Amino acid sequence: MSTPATPDGRRAIVLFSGGQDSATCLAWALQRFSAVETVAFDYGQRHRIELDCRLHFRRDLQSHFADWGERLGDDHLIDLGLLRALGDSALTSERAIRMRADGLPNTFVPGRNLLFFVAAAALAYRRGASVLVGGMCETDYSGYPDCRDNTLKALQVAISLGLAAPMTIETPLMFVDKAATWALAHELGGDALVELLVEHTHTCYLGDRGQRHAWGYGCGDCPACGLRARGHARWLASGKD
Ligand code: ZN
């Protein structure tokens, strides 16, 4: 692992939910940018575990990685309860997770990521930041249309025009699978970062943190746990490449 001698002077805001992907993106941003802040959104998630995990992850990241700790700035929690007011889904109410007739899972919250980026951009404008970093991924099973590369490229243009200020959206995980996400974390921060990801990030749809597996905590059965576990196994099988 190495920190560039001259980091990119721009300030970045990472959309940091407390999951594995956004936590990896936080490390990625700290490796590149001279100042990094984090933001999360509270919209009445079924499980608030991710929101708790994120503060533990930030704290341990600061104590284990001195260079990153110096660059890591404020954390922001923005209330987007209006998403709940607009209608529920499996992420904000206790319903079984299933695929809809149109091929999208019922965990799809319409407009969620669009709102996230607009809110993060408004925050970035106030904080003097010009880069937004998110862990969205096209290779994920969910296929959320507002996580796709073209959606976010179009949004970057709309936001930059609407604020009359350049705002770059970076999505380092857009075209990588879960095994490559573990590999990226290892490349950025070695075994120490992987251990922090296992211990402090949360993925399970059911909010289960009772069992610790090699890949982290979770029920082991839901789609999110399955994806994370298979990615971790493939990464280990590859010799951590
Ligand atoms: Zn699970």
DSSP string, 106-162: TT--TTHHHHHHHHHHHHHHHHT--EEE----TTSSS--GGGSHHHHHHHHHHHHHH
CA 206 to centroid of ligand 1, rounded, Å: 5
CA 155 to centroid of ligand 1, rounded, Å: 31
Q: Which candidate, 32, 73, 57, 35, places its Cα nearest to that of 202?
A: 57
220 close to 203: Cβ distance less than 8 angstroms: no
The answer to the question of residue 3 being in a domain is no
Per-residue pLDDT of the chain (241 residues; tens, 9 = 90+): 555 667 899 999 999 999 999 999 999 999 999 999 999 999 877 667 777 889 999 999 999 999 999 999 999 999 998 888 887 655 555 566 677 777 777 777 888 999 999 999 999 999 999 999 999 998 765 678 999 999 999 999 999 999 999 999 999 999 999 999 999 999 999 999 999 999 999 888 888 888 899 999 999 998 889 999 999 999 999 988 7
Q: Which candidate, 232, 193, 206, places its Cα nearest to that of 61?
A: 193
Report the domain count for the chain: 1
Q: What is the pLDDT of residue 93?
A: 58
- Separation of alpha carbons 177 and 159, rounded Å: 28
Q: What is the pLDDT of residue 181?
A: 96
144 backbone dihedrals φ, ψ, rounded to 5°: -60, 125
Q: What is the pTM of this model?
A: 0.91
The answer to the question of residue 4 being in a domain is no
CA 156 to centroid of ligand 1, rounded, Å: 33
The answer to the question of residue 2 being in a domain is no
Q: What is the pLDDT of residue 73?
A: 98
CA 34 to centroid of ligand 1, rounded, Å: 35
List beta partners, residue 39: 15, 76
CA 241 to centroid of ligand 1, rounded, Å: 26
CA 224 to centroid of ligand 1, rounded, Å: 6
CA 228 to centroid of ligand 1, rounded, Å: 9
The answer to the question of residue 91 being in a domain is yes
Instruction: Print the domain residue range for 123.
Output: 9-237
Q: What is the pLDDT of residue 139?
A: 79
What residues sit around ligand 1, an ion, with C-beta below 5 angstroms? Answer: 204, 206, 218-219, 222, 225
The answer to the question of residue 24 being in a domain is yes
For the domain that residue 58 is a member of, what is the CATH number? 3.40.50.620
DSSP assignment letter at 39: E
The answer to the question of residue 210 being in a domain is yes
